[in-house]
Amino acid sequence: MSTQTSIEWTEQTWNPTVGCSKISPGCAHCYAEVMARRLKAMGVKGYENGFKLTLLPYRLDEPLNRIRPTVYFVNSMSDLFHEDIPDNYIRQVFDVIRQAPQHTFQVLTKRAERMATFFTDYEPPRNAWIGVTVEDKKHGLPRLEWLRQVPAFIRFVSVEPLLEDLGKMNLKGIHWVIVGGESGPKARPMKQEWVLNVKHQCEQQKAAFFFKQWGGWGADGMKRAKKHNGRLLEGRTWDAVPAGHLYCEPELETV
């Protein structure tokens, strides 16, 4: 079902599928896996299979029943481009997005190659923001090249959890970059210099920068509860969004 969320960069979540499987170091301490197990134990509809990938077609029409313009994070509890989700089902999800132009839908994936392949013969709706996760150099940065192939009106990157210094990033054609540290009892630390490196490159390459959170480790390198570490960077919050770019024509590149 569609629900309100505490995720700082969106308003509601919409999960026409739930469940996933791990493919990179960024998945090691997946919040969705923990939550899915909790929801299964509570008997919540849709989570009978826990974190096993499950299609929930009865949820497809949920955004169509909401008139008020809303920003939806699509599949916060899964990955829409998971290898076991049929192309036809993915098309149904995007067809619903196209039928609800009053809303904005944020689709985030770690399976960037499949995403780029899918969009070779399916045009993304203008109200679909398409993004990839970048957690490190080896697994994350190559996803940017696949993302650049997608003719989306907004391309965004979730650098969360940021696990190492990313070095030089090519942000050409990327409109929005979200950065955040890992939370939870097994959170891995994120250093301030890693965050500032991303921030400075966003400034240089004209990408909107959003700092979501420190997570389980503070700017001082101390581990504590996420709420105590907050989301201040250099003494302030950074909440830029790419709304002004929504109707800009995308620049396309090839891998």
Which domains, ranges and CATH numbers included, belong to the chain?
A: 3-245 (3.20.20)
Buried b (16+ CB within 10 A) or exposed e, 28-43: ebbebbebbeebbeee
pLDDT at residue number 195? 98
At a CB cut-off of 8 Å and minimum separation 6, what does 121 contact?
none
pLDDT at residue number 21? 97
pLDDT at residue number 147? 98
Residue 111 in contact with residue 84, Cβ under 8 Å?
A: no
For the four alpha carbons of 241, 247, 249 and 250, in that order, the dihedral sign comes to positive
Q: What is the pLDDT along the chain (255 residues), one digit of tens a residue?
A: 677 888 999 999 999 999 999 999 999 999 999 999 999 999 999 999 999 999 999 999 999 999 999 999 999 999 999 999 999 999 999 999 999 999 999 999 999 999 999 999 999 999 999 999 999 999 999 999 999 999 999 999 999 999 999 999 999 999 999 999 999 999 999 999 999 999 999 999 999 999 999 999 999 999 999 999 999 999 999 999 986 543 333 333 332
pLDDT at residue number 1? 60
Q: What SS3 class is residue 91?
A: helix
pLDDT at residue number 252? 37
